[in-house]
Structure 1
């Protein structure tokens, strides 16, 4: 199986955006708890 740089970049971007969304979701919950 050959992996094209473009598809790898999209996969990485999707993983990063997923991590960011998860982090923001946790931060939002914590913020709601503190306020």
Structure 2
């Protein structure tokens, strides 16, 4: 049970990190552009 929760939680964190990274890249492009 805890294993499932852990993996799901990790997946959620990865998704959040990726979306944050994409937003940051987008902002960087706007700033330099």
- TM-score (norm. length: structure 2): 0.91
Structure 2: runs of 5+ lacking an equivalent: none
The 4+ residue runs of structure 1 with deviation greater than 4 A are none
Q: Which has the higher helix share?
A: 2
Structure 1: runs of 5+ lacking an equivalent: none
Residue 21 in 1 paired to residue 18 in 2? Answer: yes
Alignment RMSD: 0.4
- TM-score (norm. length: structure 1): 0.87
